[in-house]
Amino acid sequence: MPYDLPALPYGYEALEPYVDATTMNIHHTKHHQAYVTALNGAMDKFPELASLGLADLNKSVGTDKIPKDIATVIRNHGGGHWNHSFFWKVMTAPSDTNGASTELKAAIDSAFGSSDEMKTKFNAAAASRFGSGWAWLGVKADGSLGVTSTPNQDNPLQTVADDQMIPVLALDVWEHAYYLKYQNRRPEYISAFWNVVNWEQVNANFKDAKAGNVSSV
């Protein structure tokens, strides 16, 4: 089996009161595990794809590197595995969240005018994503920051994305990520997310992305 469910870098209760422990447990052990299991089932039939690595596997979505027979499975479950592995790392306990580095703040100010305006655009991308999906902050091909959203388990690494970029921050807006605590109040969940952003990890992701690299998950 080429892929395993990664351990969280904190306890299930660590993000309280903004993300509840029950949601984190189910999200990690049930939803994320399901993506890993399905991905491994597909990869068992095409073991040569394992040499790509998870990030490159996602970059190959929508290209002829992925056999048509498993293209949808890789897109959905390979995307789901990478997205969640990335998502867990950009969150931390509220007491440990700091802020953007000098370099990242300068890039945010250049692209959006201010950190508040970046958050406004990010929140809007997350709130307006119809149905299930993700919101992203990432580095575009020209080196500037951008905000986008993707449906289902797509991500900006994939060639099928409307806006390709290297992610530095992500928010899961599938209902299973927030419904136990926030029910249909997605904007409230989005607002609460900023209290648990792991800026140290986001800063590291930004540094990697500026160099053209995808941070390891």
**If we measure between CA atoms, which residue out of 57, 61, 56, 59 comes closest to residue 72?**
61
Instruction: Return the H-helix or E-strand segment holding 118.
Output: helix 115-128
Q: Residue 45 has which token pair?
A: 């039939």
31 is in an annotated binding site: no
Quote the Cα angle for 143-121-59, to 5°: 45
Closest CA to 215 of 31, 91, 54: 54
C-alpha closest to that of 93 among 203, 11, 170: 11
Report the first-to-last Cα separation within the chain, whole angstroms.
Answer: 17
Among candidate residues 148, 128, 123, 125, the one with its CA nearest the CA of residue 137: 148
The answer to whether the beta carbons of residues 83 and 172 sit under 8 Å apart is: yes
Q: How far is CA 15 from CA 21, 101, 204, in A?
A: 7, 22, 21
Check whether 176 is labelled as a binding-site residue.
yes
State yes or no: 56 annotated in a binding site. no
Tell me the DSSP string of 121-151: HHHHHHHH--SSEEEEEEE-TTS-EEEEEEE
Residues tagged in the binding site annotation: 27, 84, 172, 176
Residues tagged in the binding site annotation for Mn(2+): 27, 84, 172, 176
